Amino acid sequence: MNRRDFLKATSLAAMAPSFGLSAQTLSTSTQFRLEAAVIEQALTPYPEYKASSLWTYNGGLPGPELRVKQGELMQAELVNRLPEPTTIHWHGIRLSNGMDGVSMLTQPPVEPGARFQYVFAPPDAGTYWYHSHAKTWQQMARGLYGPLIVEGPDEPVVDHDLVCMIDDWRLNAEGQLDEASFGRLHDWAHGGRLGNWLTVNGESNPQRPVKPGSRVRLRLINAANARIFRLQLAAPALQYALDGYRTPLTSIQDIELAPAQRVDLIIDLTAEPFPLTEVSTGEPYPAFSLVPDAALGTATAAKVTLTDPTPESLPNLDTAKRLPLHMQGGAMGNLTEASLDGVMRPIRELAREYQKVWAFNGVVGNMKSRLADLRLGDTAIVEIWNDTRWPHAMHLHGFHFWVRDPETGTVSASRRDTHLMHAGERAELIFVADNPGLWLLHCHMLEHHAAGMGTVIQVS
């Protein structure tokens, strides 16, 4: 497809009705402007270390917190002030295909100095986020992300509704972003580009003041390229939602959060600080703290007992399309050869000449790969086998899915958009293909995606 045909195709997709959009919604609109540009900012609080050249939206790390009402028309203009093309993907949002923001799949990249208008109406309440989806493994690692909160009609009453975007950064000896390490095959073939410095909302171990005795809704978002965060809470909290979807209320104190996943917590504080600690490396590392401050006034939110959501039922699976997906590759893997652009090549050649080390069903993924061609309304079961030595955070664009264990038949308590597959795990991702277009399915360990772990599901 040449550029003219591509532009024509994506413009037609953009003209299709936004997913969940109604005539009533068109009467109201929320408008945002997101300027992607380079800033200089230190990533550590130590004055002896230099600032890094970060890429951010509207000059902040993370980008501005966007809040909209469920079903409300949202317009967001991207202005590209970067030295290379970019796009914005609205992670977890079910929207029309032309607005999904995947460079060279759903839209052409937005060139330096150019603009692009995203228009959609989020149909689901919850915690979501936005980030670059062009050369994602590098642009996100430079800071191109921000939170998107969709408010529903029946939100719990709290004193504070806080968003925390957690990220790890790889810094060099000068305390600057280690740009020289971008693109290293060792990272791509192993666990991804892991960092050595942790920030929450761009700060190192921030202390967030809150009202003493307050009820807090804490929305945690993993914005890291590859790090699976493991967080320990100072005391048990209630899990309220995962990936935006309400879950049965569960008391938790330990959280595993893969790249791109989100968890909403309800925390009833006392007069004591409430720290969160990151322990994925085996050694406790302070992440951030909620610190009661009497100067903020008195907490007013009643500590009422919350109710569980109405359980969702699986769709009828009698005629479901089964889509096997065999994941192979990476260091210490069993992949000996794979197809790249229709040509079988040995893994050594793929790694050395093309920097490709992963495959789905024996195919190195790119935007031309197709896992399936579904008809609108089909029910699909993606049967994933993680036949590698590494975990993978599998993200499906355009849909939310149930997760079923094929051995026990156990089904997730709620739908998700990103599922963490541990080494050797098998899982079934179940969804209804009710949204037409070309939809990406990929590992959100971003280096794994860049090195071949991606495919496309077409719904027509």
Contact yes or no for 359/452 (Cβ under 8 A):
yes
Give the residue carrying structure tokens 């202005």: 79
The DSSP-derived string for 347-371 is: HHHHHHHH---EEETTB---TT--S
| Spans of all domains in the chain | 3-151, 160-296, 321-459
What is the Cα–Cα distance from 23 to 455, expressed in whole angstroms? Answer: 34
Per-residue pLDDT tens for 75-101? Answer: 999 999 999 999 999 999 999 999 999
3 state DSSP class of 12 = helix
Q: Which CATH fold topology does 3-151 show?
A: Immunoglobulin-like (2.60.40)
3 state DSSP class of 15 = helix
What is the Cα–Cα distance from 433 to 457, expressed in whole angstroms? Answer: 10
CATH for 160-296 is: 2.60.40.420
CA 203 to chain centre: 20
Domains 3-151 and 160-296 share a fold: yes
Across the range 272-301, mean pLDDT stands at 97
Give the range among 24-38, 166-180, 343-357, 366-380 with minimum mean pLDDT: 24-38
Give the percent of the chain with pLDDT over 90: 93
What is the Cα–Cα distance from 112 to 142, expressed in whole angstroms? Answer: 17
28 or 50, which is more confident?
50
Across the range 26-50, mean pLDDT stands at 88
Residue 11 has pLDDT above 90, yes or no: no
Q: Taking the CA of residue 167 as centre, how many other CA atoms within 13 Å lie in the half-sphere pointing to its CB?
A: 23
Cβ burial, residue 173 (10 Å; 0-12/13-18/19+): exposed
Average predicted confidence (pLDDT) for the chain: 94
Per-residue pLDDT tens for 195-233? Answer: 999 999 999 999 999 999 999 999 999 999 999 999 999
pLDDT score at 460: 96
Q: Residue 377: left if φ>0, alpha if ψ -120 to 50, beta else—which one?
A: left
**Of 233, 214, 231, 235, nearest to 222 (Cα)?**
231
For domain 321-459, the CATH class is mainly beta
Count of C-beta atoms within a 10 Å radius of residue 304: 9
Q: What token pair was written down for 272?
A: 């004591």
pLDDT bracket for residue 31 (50, 70, 90): very high
Give the percent of the chain with pLDDT over 70: 94
Strand order in the sheet with 379-386: 358-360, 321-329, 379-386, 426-432, 402-404
